[in-house]
Amino acid sequence: MLASEILARAAIMEGLSASAFPFFGVERKGSPVTAFCRIDRRPIRLHTGIYEPDHVVVLDQALIRLTDVLSGLKEDGTVLVNSPHKAEELGLPTDRRLATVDATSIALTHHLGSPSAPIVNTAILGGLARQCDIIPIDAVLDAIRYMAPARKEENAQAALETYERGVR
């Protein structure tokens, strides 16, 4: 959820319109959360779920087995998965633009969260900035420094490291 809000903030800082919101559904506490971020050059008037996304970011590789992460993804859409594996090893259709980044190890390097519960949301944003070229990395870093609830510089450095490493 925080990653989508930071991405929206970065877009707004770049003069774009943005809207970010979570969808919890009827799941119990601890269940996967779907978060949306709509970015456009025009004012955003639609505030509903996104049923045909341009980009999908999966923060937990285990979700690939639990849900259809590609549901509605546009034909030329991109998928970024937090995984230490290469994209072709994930079992997803290869007719999509798939990429991975090991945001977990980067988050742990920067002491974001704990070994049993690393916090990867800001680290993965660096990978998204690299893969999609939607928002410049400098705007992402500024938004992280503005919105991260704690360890602002560590979060920004994790995103920058992910950006610099690139995606696979």
Q: Tens digit of pLDDT for each residue in 68-121?
A: 888 999 998 999 999 999 998 998 887 888 999 999 999 999 999 999 999 999
Instruction: Give the integer Cα–Cα distance in Å for 35 and 96.
Output: 21
With beta carbons less than 8 A apart as the criterion, state whether 126 and 61 touch. Answer: no
**CATH annotation of 2-165:** 3.40.920.10
User: Can you give the pLDDT at residue 95?
Assistant: 80
Q: Return the domain boundaries, the chain.
A: 2-165
Instruction: Among 8-12, 107-111, 130-134, 150-154, name the one with the lowest average pLDDT.
Output: 130-134
CA dihedral 108, 113, 119, 123 (to 10 degrees): -40
Question: pTM of the entire structure?
Answer: 0.90
Residue, of 121 and 1, whose pLDDT is higher: 121
Q: With CA atoms as reference, report the closest residue to 137 among 118, 162, 112, 109.
A: 162
